[in-house]
Amino acid sequence: MATSITNSRPICTYPIPMSIQSKLSKAGFLTTGSVANLRPSELSSSAEISLEDAADVLDLVRKPNGLFLETKTALEILREEQRNYPIVTMSQNIDKILNGGVPLAKITEISGIAGVGKTQLCLQLCVTVQMPEECGGLKGHAVYIDTEGSFNASRLQDMSQACIEHCRNAMNLAAENWNLASITENIFVFRCKEVTELLSCVMILKEFLKTHDQVKLIVIDSLAFHFRHDMENAALRSRVLHKIAAELARLAVESKLAVVVTNQMTTKFDSKGQGRLTPALGTSWGHAPTFRLILDWDPSRSFRWATLIKSSSLPPGSAPYQKIARVVKLYRFSNQGYLFPY
Amino acid sequence: MTNNLKLKAIGLPTAITDKLANHSIITVQDYLTLNLIELQRKTGLTYQKLSSISENVNKFIAPLGISVNRLLQPSHVLFNDDLDTFLKGGITCGHITEFSGAPGLGKTQLCLQLALSNALYGKVNGVLYIDSEGAFSASRLLDIAVHKYGIATEKNIQSSLNKIHLWRPCSLKEIVDNLISIEVLVVKEHIGLLIIDSMGSIVRRDFGVEKSIERGAQMCSLSSSLKRIAHDFNLAVVVTNHVTAKVEPTLTNFNGQPTSIPALGPSWSHWINSRLHLFIAQNKRRLMVSKSPEIPELIVDYCISKGGLDIQCETCSSPAY
């Protein structure tokens, strides 16, 4: 019965100027309940006070009952964004085009042809997200949803070892601060073999994150695979994809974590019958990720390129749909992962 | 097969499953692809009720999180040869590995060698060899056994040849239709290695260019099923593939890179886990790891002798960047 108690709270107990208090009581507004459900214009005309004063009164009265919009100003968001350091990829050039790394609270899509290194980049992120703060990391945990069965623990171990050594040599990290065992402990792998498993898995993540609040990265490798065969109906597919995208976006914002999904490339035929490679899952999915990164081979196959094709934080007018925003020469594969940019 | 799992089977009250079934929501997939508002409109159940049902369904279906430590020891199927060192342990179980290459370069040799070495020394019992080209030859197996592994006693050879089960399907559809029979055989004969030689021919025979969408769908679902079997029974799946000419001949093989690319299109390349590509460059037969989650790109020269495929370890080189 808590609501009735606050509803019967007299108006005179609120910090309202006397002149307005008297006008309100003259008009018969004595308790919270009598005012709380009025519109500002109604209150202003019936108590003969100005619209601004009425809004102030309503704000005062409604706030303790939780009846107000939770807004944030752009400045506050900016402060938050500046506090959310991105997850560095350890490849200087990719970090550069992503403005520091994979951003938190956003969905980032990585697409590219087979064998170009999408899974490698995801594994690498699982390691770098765990770097201690003094090395520019987030000391977060990672969730890895594996639909293709390509998660490779021994490769992950190699990368972790290389990353730890790099931190110790280049940034003088004390040896006891970070070790291999903690890296492998803090990655949670979910192997989804069918589309329904993937759906359920995304839906239970909310519960999972409640008990694992240090998770700063969710990887889905790959989102496309099951959707390309288990869902023949294109309309159904795009609806389910949006359901997943909405859930992921919510998780990303609420828990301030980065979501990385990988996508496959498919051949799309234009009106002239010319085939060209584009990310799969259709155009409507393209709206869901905030950042879209395409990895590709250079024709000589001696190095790879990363191209940012969609981003919300580029200067206006410089990134029309599908226009290449920025291209960067990429890493070379080495045993240590991408630690050494080409 | 959770997609077609009946809602009845996951422990929901029958009153609710009956009600959902009236609105043709029978399988888990039917249920999960609808959102709560649509479910509410269709069934008339309350939002609270439906969200608690959803929670139960999700809990039942979602896979459990595995810690990386448990994934650290992947098992391998071995060649019992230098190739194992080159491949950092052999062919990974639970993965689909593809051998691609032009005709006559030794794809089938690799398959035969793998099948035989597994039958001779493998920890698992059986090999299922799906042969669509008619290239399987038991006498070649015998050759390899004698020349490569030096097996001479008849008893050894007999028992290992008995472990290799050959099946000759006529079409891709036949494989897809018989997936359950394959699973039965896998359990019954303790299959640890499944070889499809060749995926390229069986797909290209069934589907022309005009049926590319249907082909894509069938191949993707086959790859998903193979991956599921591979994961559930921890067996290695090996497929072979043809090659097609590279469309843009801009760069001739100046640094020993292949000029042919694996067939079946870019999508198929996503659906396999690793790929070994055989090609000829600078008058040498070369083997390249062109896709793998654990091995960086590597190229090695090889030759084919009476004992099968041999890599020449002294000339084993890293890619010429």
Give the confidence band of B255 by pLDDT, cuts at 50, 70, 90: low
pLDDT value at position A316? Answer: 32
Across the interface, whether the CB atoms of A267 and B265 are under 8 A apart is answered yes
Q: Nearest-CA distance from A84 to chain B in Å?
A: 27
3-state SS, residue A117: coil
Confidence of residue B1 (pLDDT cuts 50, 70, 90): low
Domain residue extents for chain B = 2-61, 72-315
Distances (CA, A) of A304 to B141, B287, B298: 41, 21, 16
Interface test with A, best of B264, B270, B271, B288 (most A CBs within 10 A): B270
pLDDT band for position A174 (cuts 50, 70, 90) = confident
Does A203 lie at the interface with B, CB-CB under 8 angstroms?
A: yes
The partner residue sitting opposite B59, judged by closest CB among A192, A193, A204, is A204
β-strand partners of A142: A187, A217
Across B11-34, average pLDDT: 83
Q: Which residue of chain B is at minimal alpha-carbon distance from A118?
A: B293
Q: Which CATH number fits domain B2-61: 1.10.150, 1.20.950, 2.30.30, 1.10.3470?
A: 1.10.150
What six digits make up the tokens of B311?
A: 């890599």
Assign A1 a pLDDT band (cuts: 50, 70, 90). very low
Sequence-separated (6 or more) residues with CB below 8 Å from residue B164: B115, B116, B119, B126, B127, B129, B141
* Closest by Cβ to B250, choosing from A155, A183, A299: A299
Place A340 in a pLDDT band, splitting at 50, 70 and 90: very low
Q: Work out the pLDDT band at A321, boundaries 50, 70, 90.
A: very low
Q: Which of A156, A240, A264 sits opposite B33 (nearest CB)?
A: A240
* A-chain residue closest to B60, CA distance: A200
Secondary structure letter of residue A234 according to DSSP? H
The pLDDT-based confidence of A334 (bands split at 50, 70, 90) is very low
Rounded mean pLDDT of chain A? 78
pLDDT band for position A52 (50/70/90)? confident
Q: Place B265 in a pLDDT band, splitting at 50, 70 and 90.
A: confident
When CB atoms are compared, the residue of A194, A236, A266 closest to B267 is A266
Task: Give pLDDT tens digits for B97-144.
Answer: 999 988 888 888 889 888 888 888 877 678 999 988 888 888 888 888
Residue to test with chain B: of A194, A211, A232, A303, most B Cβ within 10 A: A194
Interface with B, mutate which of A229, A232, A263 (most B CBs under 10 A)? A229
pLDDT tens digits for B151-174? 777 888 888 888 889 998 888 888
* pLDDT of amino acid A218: 94
CB atoms inside a 10 Å sphere around CB B74: 17
- Torsion angle defined by CA atoms of residues B259, B263, B267 and B271, in that order, rounded to the nearest 10 degrees: -100
Q: What is the mean pLDDT of residues A182-199?
A: 88
pLDDT at A31: 83
- The CB density around residue A11, as the number of other CB atoms within 10 Å, is 19
Is the minimum CB–CB distance between A190 and chain B shorter than 8 Å?
yes
B276: left (phi over 0), alpha (psi -120 to 50) or beta: beta
| Residue A324 confidence (pLDDT) above 60 | no
**Chain B residues with CB inside 8 Å of A225's CB?**
220, 224, 270-271
The string of pLDDT tens digits covering residues A88-106 is 887 777 777 777 788 888 8
CA A277 – CA A293 distance, rounded (Å): 14
Q: B68–A153: do the CB atoms touch at under 8 Å?
A: yes
3-state SS assignment for residue A263: strand
pLDDT of residue B256: 56
Q: What tokens does A156 get?
A: 């992950």
CB-based contact A193 B231, cutoff 8 Å: yes
A184 interfaces chain B, CB cutoff of 8 Å: yes
For residue A221, the cross-strand partners are A146
Q: Is the pLDDT of residue A292 over 80?
A: yes
A98, B271 Cβ separation under 8 angstroms: no
A40 burial type by CB count under 10 A (0-12 exposed, 13-18 middle, 19+ buried)? middle
Measured between beta carbons, the chain A residues lying within 8 angstroms of B221 are 229-230
pLDDT of residue A327: 36
Residues 241-260 of A with CB under 8 A from B: 243
The SS3 assignment for A88 reads: coil
C-alpha dist (Å) from residue B237 to B81, B105, B193 = 19, 20, 6
Of A113, A197, A224, the CB nearest to B266: A113
Question: Is pLDDT above 70 for B193?
Answer: yes
Q: How confident is the model at residue A196 (pLDDT cuts 50, 70, 90)?
A: confident
Structure confidence at residue A259 as a pLDDT band (50, 70, 90):
very high
Residue A317 scores a pLDDT above 60: no
The answer to whether residues B29 and A195 touch, using CB atoms and an 8 Å cutoff, is yes
Helices B199-206 and B212-233: crossing angle, nearest 10°? 150
The partner residue sitting opposite A114, judged by closest CB among B5, B251, B270, is B270
Nearest to A301 among B35, B257, B291 (CB): B257
Mean pLDDT of chain B: 81
pLDDT score, position A131: 86
Chain A residues within an 8 Å CB radius of B214: none
- Whether residue A153 and residue B3 make contact (CB cut-off 8 A), yes or no, is no
Please say if the pLDDT value at position A333 is more than 50: no
- Please answer yes or no on whether A222 and B270 come within 8 Å at the CB atom: yes
Average pLDDT over residues A260-283: 80
Which ipTM value was assigned to this complex?
Answer: 0.70
List all residues 6 or more positions away from B181 whose beta carbon is below 8 Å from its beta carbon: none
Q: At what angle do helices B212-233 and B179-188 cross, to 10 degrees?
A: 20
Looking at chain A, the whole-number percentage of residues with pLDDT higher than 70 is 87
Checking if the pLDDT of A157 tops 80, the result is yes
Chain A residues in contact with B227 (beta carbon < 8 A): 148-149, 193
Taking the CA of residue B293 and the nearest CA in chain A, the distance in Å comes to 6
Residue B246 has pLDDT above 70, yes or no: no
CB-CB: which of B251, B271, B293 is closest to A152? B293
Residues of B in contact with A300 (CB under 8 A): 251, 255
Q: Do B74 and A114 touch (CB under 8 A)?
A: no
Q: Return the SS3 of A140.
A: coil
The answer to whether the CB atoms of B231 and A239 lie below 8 A apart is no
Contact yes or no for B72 and A153 at CB 8 A: yes
Taking CB atoms and an 8 Å limit, are B35 and A222 in contact across chains?
A: no
Chain pair A-B, CB pairs under 8 angstroms: 172
How sure is the predictor about B237, in pLDDT bands with cuts at 50, 70 and 90?
very high
- Residues with Cβ within 8 Å of A58's Cβ and at least 6 positions away in sequence, in order, are A35, A36, A38, A40, A43
**Which residues of A, range 300-339, sit inside 8 Å of B by Cβ?**
300-303, 332-335
Chain A residues touching B58 at Cβ < 8 A = 199-200, 203-204
Taking contacts as CB-CB distances below 8 angstroms, the residues of chain B near A200 are 32, 57-62
For A282-299, what is the mean pLDDT?
80
- Are A119 and B35 a contacting pair at CB < 8 A? no
Closest residue in B to A238 (Cα) is B33
- Quick one: pLDDT band at residue B312, thresholds 50, 70, 90? low
What is the reported pLDDT for B315? 43
pLDDT tier for residue A143 given thresholds of 50, 70 and 90? very high
Domains of chain A: 2-65 (1.10.150.20), 75-329 (3.40.50.300)
In this predicted structure, what is the pLDDT of residue B244?
Answer: 81
Tell me the three state secondary structure of residue B161.
Answer: helix
Instruction: Name the architecture of domain B72-315.
Output: 3-Layer(aba) Sandwich (3.40)
| Per-residue confidence band for A341, with pLDDT thresholds at 50, 70 and 90 | very low
Predicted confidence (pLDDT) per residue in B76-89, tens digit: 888 777 888 888 78
Mean pLDDT of A290-299: 79
A280 neighbourhood in chain B, CB within 8 Å? 267
Largest CA distance in chain A: 85
- Put simply, the chain A residues between 30 and 59 with a CB less than 8 A from any chain B CB are none
Of A241, A281, A286, the closest CA to residue A264 belongs to: A281
